[in-house]
Amino acid sequence: MNIAQSLMLALLALPILEIYLLIQIGGLIGFLPTLLLLFGAAGLGTYLLQTQGWSTWMRLQQSLARGESPANELVNGAVIVAGAALLLFPGFLSDVAGLLCLIPLTRRWIAAWLVQNRLGMGPMKDQQEPKVIEGEFKRDD
């Protein structure tokens, strides 16, 4: 199965799984508590998005002011945006995934995993100091 088929299967299965979980949790704790949990998760996610997004923006500005590469802050910002998008979808599975993207500890783990496994940029220890190869050359004209 290629990646397009896997993505299509996931996009079709996610709403079905979300509806199933909503029905199961609603039957277990009731309609009103289920609704309050969904709105509470959205409120908490909105608060975390605002605070974590602002702190990531400030760290991005500071790293640019120091002349450093802001790659870490950019990946963290992308994970924050993905978490906020997941919180827009109604359902407990997407809320849990979105909140995991917005909590700083788990966001760092997700960002590190993305950088190492999906972006093809593992730890770059060799590129911190330039390698110098000494030698001589002679120009023949």
Number of folded domains that form the chain: 1
Contact by Cβ (8 Å): 107, 83? yes
| Separation between Cα atoms, residue 13 and residue 80, nearest integer Å | 24
Q: Is 133 part of any domain?
A: no
Digit-coded pLDDT (tens) for 59-68: 888 888 888 8
Contact by Cβ (8 Å): 86, 38? no
pTM: 0.67
Instruction: Find the domain containing 101 and state its range.
Output: 31-118
Digit-coded pLDDT (tens) for 18-52: 999 999 999 999 999 999 988 888 888 788 778 87
Q: Residue 28: which residues within 8 A CB-CB, separation 6 or more?
A: none
Residue located via tokens 């039957």:
27
Q: Is 124 part of any domain?
A: no
| Separation between Cα atoms, residue 119 and residue 69, nearest integer Å | 16
